[in-house]
A and B are shown apart, each in its own frame.
Chain A
Amino acid sequence: MEAPYRALNALPLPLAECKVRKQGFSVCIIGGGGTGAALAYDLAQRGLDVTLLEKGELTSGTTGRHHGQLHCGARYAWADRNIARECYEESLTLSRIASGCIEYSGGFFVALSEAEAALQDRFRNCCFEAGIPATALSVETLLSIEPRISAKVRAAVRVPDGSFDAYRLAMMFFAAARNLGARVLPWQEVVGFDISAGRMKAVLYRNLLTGREERIEADFVVGATGAWTGKLGMLAGLLVPVSPAPGTMLAVQGRLVDHVISRLRPPSDGDILVPQRGLTIIGTTERRAENPDWIHPEPEDAELLKAAGEEFIPGFSALPVRAVWAAARPLSNMAGYAARGDAGGRSLSRDFSVLDHENEGISGFASIVGGKATVLRAMGEQAADLVCAKLGSNVACRTGDYALPSWRRFFDGGRP
């Protein structure tokens, strides 16, 4: 029996019913990934005049390369119940507002050894403390639902995970942002800032389609550039402690499972299987890198991931490989920032924060640091809260209340 998670939630409102009252402030967002998309939609809905600049195609940095696991938070519950709880809340919210691109089917944590099986009670307790429903099921039941899983399986726990189309989820936020009047501009590379008397005045960018340099003035500028945050900060003379941490994923032909399957153990390399249409993705690995513009898998990554897949599903490593690719996650070293109290009291319990660069002497400029795909809406909300507070606007966030339009609607009305 599949748990009807969707039935737990009330239906969201259509976006056409959303009334926006103009606030008279302008914001420039830099970065066209999922975070920038969620922030652009949030601010446009609160009545701000939004322009978003992305140097390449939208979602071409890290966002689109995500394996697509909609995290209920169970993966994080081992280490941090607050991050896990927030993931769960956000996964429920996304399943309401972006249901068109989400397979909300649940997931299983499987123990493939006696040692992993011995962790089951601790794992379920961690989930319980985070408010995440995690129920044990028999090995027989698991294998009746997912017959390809290795006979080595010793225990299984069902959790409300899901999977999403990483490109389409972000494009739904972009479609909503455009629908509410935001200008979403790909192929615009930021090359500098106009900062005077400690205040951000304008963003300078090059239109890569025309080669022309342009300038946009804004009341507030937010960097949402993920693994590029360190690079962007340098353009403003700031040292923002974020560097790229590439992770490799591998997709084989064949939909081997219908649910997200995770190893029942604390997070490590090669411990997640995600079904993606007719493919099965195994992720991930983690390394460090210098340049987020040239992220590629190392040869040994594919072998490691195939071997990890083989542990889940006998025969995995012999299947035809559709693709091996890497994505540059933003890795932040926030130790030096921990005491500053940026962006509200909750930030220290999260894995993302909004840095107000007024603390480094540039007002009207902030950066979103860290985070993960499942919490993109919450990241947008927190950054929008900071922007609105700084500008003296007190409109509340409503992005959880309305259904996002289809990604197809982003392309309505001609080029932005």
Chain B
Amino acid sequence: MKFTIFIGQATNQTRYELDADPSITVLEALEALRGGKAPEILYRHSCHHGSCGTCGALVNGTPRLICVTKLGDLGTREIHLKPLEKMERLGGLAVWPGPFFAKLPDTDYLRPSTREAGDEAFDPDQAVLRLEDCIECGLCFSACPVEGEFLGPAALLAVAVEREKHPDREKEMLDLAGGPTGVELCEKRYECSKVCPQGLAPGRKIAELRKLLG
């Protein structure tokens, strides 16, 4: 199937034609182009299975992880790719995510594992420590309509999770959430929850923090 891929901003856009199986991902399409006729394409990628959080980009206007977005699922053969918003742009789709990481608090990235519902045989006393679900991809940060000093959805999600996990950090976390860069700047548009590739609903966590803070 023939696809046309546009990379970059409207004013500085490069167009590529690719004949590809619609079951391949946008990342695989870029890899095929870069390994062949377009070695100059710049994009971030690492794990190729939606765990590292590096490959976010705007795909036809929506922030997505390109490693788990299939060409055939986009409903069009014209694919417009742009770098994520609010990051430092390097060229092509590549960004420096420093502005996003600067807002993330230092929190514990491990938590006790809980199995999915229906796993009755699971004994919570045997819970192992597993990695947190947030992969810090910045899609929510990019999608959030609030500009400026706002900590943003991923950081406030981390604050909420840390507070639940570590009661000794409750005051510190609530101070962050209730501070001038915290939940009061949220406009409750829930764009964050719509784009989260892990289904983590940061918007709801922000609402919960707001309720706690009274």
Q: Which residues of A contact B (CB under 8 A)?
A: 1-2, 56-60, 63-65, 100-101, 103-106, 143-145, 147, 165-168, 187, 208-209, 249, 251, 254-255, 258-259, 275-279, 281, 291, 293-294, 296, 322-323, 325, 327, 406, 408, 410-412, 414-415
Q: Are B98 and A414 in contact (CB under 8 A)?
A: yes
Q: Which residues of A contact B119 (CB under 8 A)?
A: 147
**B2 is an interface residue with CB less than 8 A from chain A:** no
Bound Cα distance A108, B72 (Å): 39
Q: Can you list 23 A-B contacts with CB-CB less than 8 angstroms, sorted by A residue number?
A: A1-B126, A57-B44, A57-B54, A63-B46, A64-B46, A103-B110, A105-B128, A143-B121, A144-B121, A166-B46, A166-B52, A168-B109, A187-B42, A208-B40, A254-B116, A255-B116, A276-B131, A293-B34, A294-B36, A323-B68, A325-B48, A408-B136, A410-B101
- Asked if B45 and A408 make an inter-chain contact with CB atoms under 8 angstroms apart, the answer reads no
Across the interface, do B42 and A277 meet the contact criterion of CB distance under 8 Å? no
Closest chain-B Cβ to A311's Cβ sits at a distance in Å of 20
Measured between beta carbons, the chain B residues less than 8 angstroms from A276 are: 49, 51, 131
B207 within 8 A of A: no
Q: Does B96 contact A (CB under 8 A)?
A: yes
3 shortest interchain CB distances as A-B pairs: A64-B46, A294-B35, A167-B52
Neighbouring B residues of A143 by C-beta, 8 Å: 121
Which B residues touch A100, using CB under 8 A? 108-110
B67 sits at the interface (CB 8 A): yes
Complex: A59 Cα to B122 Cα, angstroms:
36
In the complex, the answer to whether B51 meets A277 with C-beta atoms within 8 Å is yes
Number of A-B contacts (CB under 8 A): 151
Q: In the bound complex, how far is the Cα of B35 from the Cα of A255, in angstroms?
A: 34
Please report the C-alpha to C-alpha distance between residue A302 and residue B44 in the assembled complex, in whole angstroms. Answer: 25
Whether the Cβ atoms of A2 and B46 lie closer than 8 Å is: no
Which bracket fits the contact residues of B?
35 or more
CA distance A327 to B136 in the complex (A): 23
Known: A57-B45, A57-B46, A167-B47. A147 touches B122 (CB 8 A): yes
Q: Contacts A277-B133, A278-B198, A294-B35; is A60 near B68 (CB within 8 Å)?
A: no
**Assuming A103-B129, A275-B130, A325-B49, what are 12 further A-B pairs, CB within 8 angstroms?**
A64-B47, A64-B48, A64-B54, A65-B49, A105-B128, A106-B128, A209-B90, A209-B94, A322-B50, A406-B109, A408-B136, A410-B101
Contact between chains at A101 and B115 (CB < 8 Å) = no
The answer on a CB contact under 8 Å between B126 and A145 is yes
Cα–Cα, bound, A208→B49 (Å): 26
Instruction: Type the 1/0 row for B83-107, where 1 means its CB is closer than 8 Å to any CB of A.
Output: 0000010110010111011101010
Q: Is B31 an interface residue (CB 8 A)?
A: yes
Report A300 CB to chain B, min CB distance, Å: 14
A105 to B111, CA, bound (A): 12
**Is residue B123 within 8 Å, beta carbon to beta carbon, of the partner chain?**
yes
Considering the chains assembled together, what is the distance between the CA atoms of A60 and B27 in angstroms? 12
Closest Cβ of chain A to B166, distance in Å, is: 14
Residues of A within 8 A of B43 (CB): 57
**B133 and A294: CB pair below 8 A?**
no
